[in-house]
Amino acid sequence: MEKIYGWTGTLLCIELSSGKVDKISTIDYAGDFVGGRLLASRLYWDEVSAGVGALDPENLLMLMPGPLAGTQAIACSRWIISAKSPHSYPDQYGFGNGGGFMGAAIKSAGYDGLIIRGTAKAPGCIVIENGQVAIEDAQGLWGHTTFDTMEKLRERHGGSARIACIGQAGENMVRFAIVATDQGGHLSNGMGAVMGSKNLKAIVVKGGSKVPVANPEKLSEINKRIRLMRKGQNEGLYMTEPMIQGIEKGKNTPCYACPQGCMRSYFKHTSGLEEVRQTCAAAFYYTPWDQLYHGEGTENPFIATSLCDRHGLCTGEMSNIINWLYNCHKNEVLTEDETGLPLSKIGSLEFIEALVHQVVARQGFGDLLAQGARRASIEQGKAAEEIGLRRVVRSGYVDDSYGPRLFMATALMYATEVRNPIIQLHEFSMTILKWVLWHTTAGGMSSLNTEALRKIAKQVWGSEAAADFSTYEGKAKAAFMIQNRQHAKESMVACDRFYPLLDSDQTEDLMGDPAIVPRLFEAVTGEKMSEDDYYSLGQRSVNLQRAIMGREGRSGRESDTLNEFHYTEPLETEEGMFGLFNPDLELPGAGTAIISRKGATVDRAEFLKMKDEYYELRGWDVATGLQKKATLQDLGLEFLCDELARLKILSP
């Protein structure tokens, strides 16, 4: 057999019900489906029918790194965990994206991914060590937190063991339970509940093999360029000290093959807690409520995040639930007596401790909340549901982070994705944030001026108009190009904090290098991949996901919607750094004009026009939003056509 690079050539299949272990070839899939998100989608299409529930034994759980994982390709050893998601409403295909060392460990153990089927008869752990695969008893671990579980497993298997595990929330199948991994990684979308439904407490991997690289010298050369381009503003933007009271930063804790691209570090809290944190939304989810209740920030948000991390709850969904409870209580839709929660004390430590306990134990009203904000709001009636839809989309995910009233192009990302499309939102919003920092600090915190932003927009978003926020022109193409690039990135699987490198203050023209990930792929695998090939990979991923969504009941134009408030309620504030530095929500307009999006809504007619343009770019039928047979054939996805035609969701 011809030597392969990057890939190991093997996918490991584990049947929990019988204990059977099997292997299949990656080569049958690698050419068209590469790895990560795209490979998981391909396997899901083959094995998980529309009628399978997220918590059924027939659901397929997959851990998928990409072809670059386990090599020295900078920040490219992340991994995808995928299954039918119990967080989605209704149950639908989903995934989480994680860092740490697990992705690299799976590759160095000799596998391109893990495929887990069935349900264990008793609580168990999968252990992959020294070429052996075993399902070990987990009775002594069941009921323990994620932190305690990892500690006990490291005592048993050594400090080099890489672990993905669940807490009590996953064991009790809370629909938004997370999977925890090393370096403070937490994978969302209900994957912890899927593990719990399979009686799977943890996955332990120890690998000792090197992943072969086709051109190590070329890889080293590209890595040097990446390090250079990441200096300056790109480094500073992601290394900001977290604004949380009562903590002291300790040592940095970067993920595998990362030169510390984010503020992922040990932090010590005044309570004595010492934990790895990353400065993302998860670390701050309780901060707004804490400030609202106390009138200023306290030390409680660190503890609030710790409670969720240790018990295995998604902080993003907890934020949705708290928002829903607060507004239901404010509007007299829910009472403290009815919920058994101190709703008048939202923001206090007492409240968050009570809420976490109720949800994790599925006790009292917590049993309803364990279904997630969307399902809980529906169960409570029309008024409660309407309040819920002010925060989450109909499929259950947060609806207004970097939202379309501010950025316009993100409307199509929200309307067409299976879950919160956070990395797509980041590409657009974080690039614009650098312009905001230039604009509001007179160049003191960023060099990304209007001219440079427009150059970037023309190169990677399709037109200079994509960076003109006085018009909807160019926004559909921007969404199309961003989706393709980010789907491709999650198939590699490369880090959101590093890629794409669209700009750099280390270059004379301030331009970055958006094609650097496909060049890393070439260096590692020896396979040619142009920038166009890379974006075609993303096209394939978007279309395969669209087919899965259609088979599971979400197809066509009528499914690509926004919540009503986007059209009717003027935008007043934006959370995070964007709103902090730019409270007037100023953005570049035409020419040298600066406009404000404060008070803006989404124009309904313009959104419909954007959908028309987007469908045209995708090669889908404009009138119906259905995929066309010819488009799928051109992308090498003709295997989808018979099923989509049978379901009458394929346009001729």
| pLDDT, tens only, 68-85 | 999 999 999 999 999 999
Angle between helices 531-551 and 604-618 (to 10 degrees): 110
Tens-place pLDDT, residues 374-420: 999 999 999 999 999 999 999 999 888 899 999 999 999 999 999 99
Antiparallel, parallel or unpaired: β 511-513 and 179-181: unpaired
Contact between 40 and 95 under an 8 Å Cβ cutoff? The reply is yes
Buried-state track 464-483, b at ≥16 Cβ within 10 A, e below 16: bbbbbbeebbbbbbbbbbbb
* Average pLDDT estimate for 566-588: 92
Peptide bond into 493 cis (omega under 30): yes
Q: Cα(525)–Cα(528) distance, rounded to whole angstroms?
A: 8
Question: Where residue 267 falls among pLDDT bands split at 50, 70, 90?
Answer: confident
Q: Cα(650)–Cα(630) distance, rounded to whole angstroms?
A: 10
pLDDT of residue 183: 87
pTM score above 0.95: yes
What do you get for the CA distance between the two ends of the chain, in Å? 41
114 Cβ contact partners less than 8 Å away, ≥ 6 residues apart: 11, 12, 14, 62, 63, 64, 106, 126, 128, 203
Q: Cα(242)–Cα(278) distance, rounded to whole angstroms?
A: 9
Q: Cα(37)–Cα(494) distance, rounded to whole angstroms?
A: 11
SS3 12: strand
Domains annotated on the chain, with CATH:
10-206 (3.60.9.10), 244-388 (1.10.569.10), 404-501+531-623 (1.10.599)
Contact between 9 and 26 under an 8 Å Cβ cutoff? The reply is yes
Task: Classify 207 in phi/psi space as left (phi over 0), alpha (psi -120 to 50) or beta.
Answer: beta
pLDDT of residue 238: 67
Q: What rounded mean pLDDT belongs to the chain?
A: 95
E strands, 236-335, are 247-252, 265-269, 274-277
Contact between 253 and 276 under an 8 Å Cβ cutoff? The reply is yes
263 Cβ contact partners less than 8 Å away, ≥ 6 residues apart: 238, 239, 240, 241, 242, 277, 278, 279
Report whether pLDDT(152) > 60: yes
* Average pLDDT estimate for 194-198: 98
Q: What angle do CA 135, 136, 140 make, to 5 degrees?
A: 145
Tens-place pLDDT, residues 477-515: 999 999 999 999 999 999 998 999 999 999 989 999 999
Q: Cα(650)–Cα(17) distance, rounded to whole angstroms?
A: 37
SS3 584: coil
Question: Where residue 242 falls among pLDDT bands split at 50, 70, 90?
Answer: low
